[in-house]
Amino acid sequence: MTRQKPNILFFFTDQQRWDCSGLHGNPHDLMPNFDRLAVRGTHLEHCFTCQPVCGPARACIQTGQYASTHGSWQNGIPLTRNVPRLAELFNEAGYHTGYIGKWHLARHKAGAVSEEDRGGYREWLASNALEMTSNAYDTVMWDGDNREVHLPGYRVDACTDAMIRFLDRNREDPFLLMTSFLEPHHQNHIDDYPPPDGYRERYAGCWVPPDLAALGGSTQQHLAGYYGMVKRLDEALGRVVDALKSLRMLDRTIILFCSDHGCHFKTRNSEYKRSCHESSIRVPSMLHGGPFTGGGKVRELVNLVDLPPTLLDAAGIEVPPHMQGRSILPLVDRKAAPEWPGEVFFETSEAEIGRGIRTRDWKYHVVADPEQHDGRGGAAEYREAFLYDMNADPYELCNLAGVESHRELSDALQERLQQRVAAAGQPRLTIRAAEPRKLGQRVMKADPLDHPGRP
């Protein structure tokens, strides 16, 4: 008897911090549906983006490659056509593919996306830059014939309604559906995080993560609204699960929840992401259904580029050699668990050009001065900028880069970074050591070793 192919439902949020989840200590019960599914399924306890900015992170998901490989290293660079994209691989395997929401990978900044720029998705309801074509209660997207579609309700609910309609239409053939919500990303033109009416008030005076409490930024202005957006997203996740259950599809559907990057609320630079810190690169993630049921916690460090091969593997589709991530499915089957890298590799761009690794115990990141940028997302020379002890300082408030007692450690981490750079197909980096200093010694204000908002 041939095993039925599982449906794949990718619930993708935008700019969502890892510590919004109760499983990561948030006390406000913002994500009870996520937490429940993660406990019953497989919780990726340490999941990281490989590029903390919208377009590049999305291109990593569609290709399974790092930004320096696929070429979309900053917003505005369209998705490559040089390799088969995720939807095309599922199409070839007999899946019906659909996309709803924010795309951010077309040649044009906002609005309708031409068919050749859709990455192979066959059913389409999206906007290239949803933040530029919609408001919280005015959702505008374009269908497969590039007809403008206005959807009623709060934006999260409008996208969720579209998801449920897709599920109802596609009960028989296996599908890959990716829904890319804008929330909890800020609304650009008003620089605010607009939740559903009444939700901001719920979280006034809310719990503040330690990094935001220490560094300030726009936290007091924005965190309550942000939490309200996260809450509505989780309610939407619950609605989707209810729809799958009522359509008798839940037991043959794999749900992946993840985000493209986090949010640091202007505490690390002048906007909300594009930094090496956990607030930017660590995201909530879980898988539920199929082989992931009862998988427990995956404690290994998982990267965004590991998710496309994981979905292919779970669907019984061969993972192509161009993908630079690895399926986590063997990690779920503890008996067959492979050796797994002891660090994740990530790149930063736009606000800075940088390369870094995060191990279980340490974070090491190098950046390039602007005059060193090569215009292609890389640089001629980098300098050590950040070193954090992730056990003693999990919210990264004490930068140890250049501290003399950590010189040997920095050298070892630099070599591990060089190995990951080589594995990603990049040339060896030229890295200048941080200026020596003693622990507690003040650095110049303009130096990135000094955190914004701290004396």
407: nearest Cα among 449, 360, 364: 364
pLDDT per residue as tens digits for the range 370-394: 999 999 999 999 999 999 999 999 9
Region 48-67: mean pLDDT is 97
Strands (E), 241-378: 253-259, 282-283, 286-288, 296-303, 343-348, 353-359, 362-368
C-alpha count within 13 angstroms, C-beta hemisphere, residue 145: 2
271: nearest Cα among 402, 75, 442: 75
Could you give the C-alpha distances from 215 to 209, 224, 239, 266, 452, in angstroms and in order? 10, 17, 36, 9, 7
In the block, tokens 């000094």 appear at 450
Query: Which amino acid is located at 44 in the chain?
Result: L
Instruction: Check residue 439 and give its pLDDT.
Output: 82
Confidence of residue 3 (pLDDT cuts 50, 70, 90): low
- Does this model's pTM top 0.85? yes
Q: Quote the CA–CA distance of 29 and 105 in Å, as a whole number.
A: 33
Region 215-226: mean pLDDT is 97
Mean predicted lDDT score pLDDT of the chain: 94
Region 238-256: mean pLDDT is 98
The length of the chain, given as a count of residues: 455
Q: Quote the CA–CA distance of 236 and 32 in Å, as a whole number.
A: 11
pLDDT at residue 74 above 70? yes
Instruction: Check residue 410 and give its pLDDT.
Output: 98
Region 240-261: mean pLDDT is 98
CB atoms within 10 A of CB 350: 19
Question: Where do runs of H (alpha helix) occur along 134-269?
Answer: 155-169, 199-202, 210-215, 219-246
What is the 8-class DSSP label of residue 338? P
The number of angstroms, rounded, from the C-alpha of 70 to the middle of its chain's C-alpha atoms is: 17
Q: Quote the CA–CA distance of 285 and 255 in Å, as a whole number.
A: 10
- Tokens standing for 138? 């005015």
Region 124-147: mean pLDDT is 97
Region 42-71: mean pLDDT is 97
Its CATH class, for the domain covering 352-432, is: alpha beta
pLDDT per residue as tens digits for the range 79-103: 999 999 999 999 999 999 999 999 9
Residue 446 burial by Cβ neighbours in a 10 Å radius (0-12, 13-18, 19+): exposed
**Annotated domain spans of the chain:** 7-336, 352-432
pLDDT at residue 226 above 60? yes
Q: Quote the CA–CA distance of 256 and 258 in Å, as a whole number.
A: 7
CATH T-level assignment (fold) for domain 7-336:
Alkaline Phosphatase, subunit A (3.40.720)
182: nearest Cα among 61, 324, 15: 15
Confidence of residue 109 (pLDDT cuts 50, 70, 90): confident
Instruction: Check residue 449 and give its pLDDT.
Output: 41
CB atoms within 10 A of CB 192: 16
